[in-house]
Chains A and B, each alone.
Chain A
């Protein structure tokens, strides 16, 4: 881990005259030089369309693209490579499931469970689908520590939902939900399960066969990869029965004036020219993560979590949302501060080169649950340091002093 920062060129830059302390990793992580180089190398040496070329360059690009599918398959331990669909990001993956699953399997009056701590990318597509198909949308509450309320969840399952959307790790609170146990409970109640793994993919190993979820979604850019690429994992037998969402090239078997038949998986869900360079960059990001290893990642991030929690506890005006415990969480922290609005905190921290997020972080329902409109979020990853946390703590104390006099 010592020389890990050297692999991220952006971490050397200054912001407003101060060294950058980047604490917005839950929104997007920075990119290591290996990923940046893979993108450049692809465009300089290997750029070609995939799947439809006879010439060598196109065949090579196709091979590289399909290799990454196998790498993703291994990364999340999917049973089949064609269960890996490349999308534009987790948001698109989650939208495909809401729209396609509901069309294939749900009817008016069916119940769908989403969660209070879900991201808008989970809640909003299901709200839209529920309105269109007259489904009943019910919210799984979270306990005060931010974890999904298991008792309430079990009660909700008695309503026999057909579909359950779960958040692996809250993008606001950083707490890890017991998704494996929750998936088993949902299956027992007869529901299919989708897991939003956008926040966990860079922090915890994922095994979709162990989780036994029906769908799982994540983005490349939150795991040191490029923007514009994401993954939708779905069980083969379900994806095969679900209709495509985008129509065009690559996703067809045969097109006549009268009728079109669709390609088998995964092409059925990958219409048009995919984000080829980004997929190759994603492959590089996976290799980057695997080289470090989740064991080392979790050790470093666990230390940062404990240190950050200790530092925040020293600021009496700061109230952390959710769990104050270092166990069962990643270093994502949202808080409010007495007398200072989150936006003002973020602006003042930015003057010191510290990048934090202020607002509702695309989780308005969760903020309402805690009776607030906005919070400050500092989301860390293994390349952050204790020295940066010290800078954050000191800057927060100065901010409170400035505002509260």
Chain B
């Protein structure tokens, strides 16, 4: 598979200037996941409204262009979603958020923030 377009400008700009990057002081829930292949880790934090809707989301840590861009796009998508909606998110949808096909060698990178989300949701 030619994965050349995984480094197109949209993705590189998400990597250079990720959305929702940072740490919040009092999250409702959080999780930290490590990619065992490279030791990179992403911390994902969410703040929920009393009704269980994502009010604010932040991620932090180190990662490659794929994992940071995916986390940036995933966290943007998460804002305003209910826990039930988050639980329904499929891995394929994460791939779709990124808008490009990522080969199996980089799935760990692509799904690092998604794994943290699954951990937060307890699924």
Contact = CB atoms under 8 A, between A and B. Distances in A.
Interface residues of B, number: 19
A347 B102 CA distance: 11
A266 to B, nearest CB: 35
A16 B103 CA distance: 13
Interface in A320-361: 341-344, 347-348, 351, 358-360
A284 B3 CA distance: 39
Given A341-B64, A373-B62, A360 B38 contact: yes
Contacts of B64: 341-344
Interface residues on A, range: 10 to 19
B101 to A, nearest CB: 13
Contact of B12 (A364, A373, A403): A403
Interface in B1-26: 2-4, 6-7, 12
A94 interface: no
Nearest to A340: B65
B98 to A, nearest CB: 14
Contacts of B109: 343
B39 interface: yes
Contact of A360 (B4, B7, B39): B39
Nearest to A375: B38
Contacts of A374: 38-40
A16 B1 CA distance: 8
A373 B67 CA distance: 14
A16 B22 CA distance: 37
Nearest to B37: A359
A291 interface: no
8 contacts: A16-B2, A341-B63, A343-B64, A343-B66, A344-B7, A351-B3, A360-B39, A403-B65
Given A343-B38, A347-B3, A364-B39, 13 more contacts: A341-B40, A341-B64, A342-B38, A343-B64, A343-B66, A344-B64, A347-B105, A351-B2, A358-B38, A373-B39, A373-B62, A374-B38, A403-B12
Interface of A: 16, 341-344, 347-348, 351, 358-360, 364, 367, 373-374, 402-403
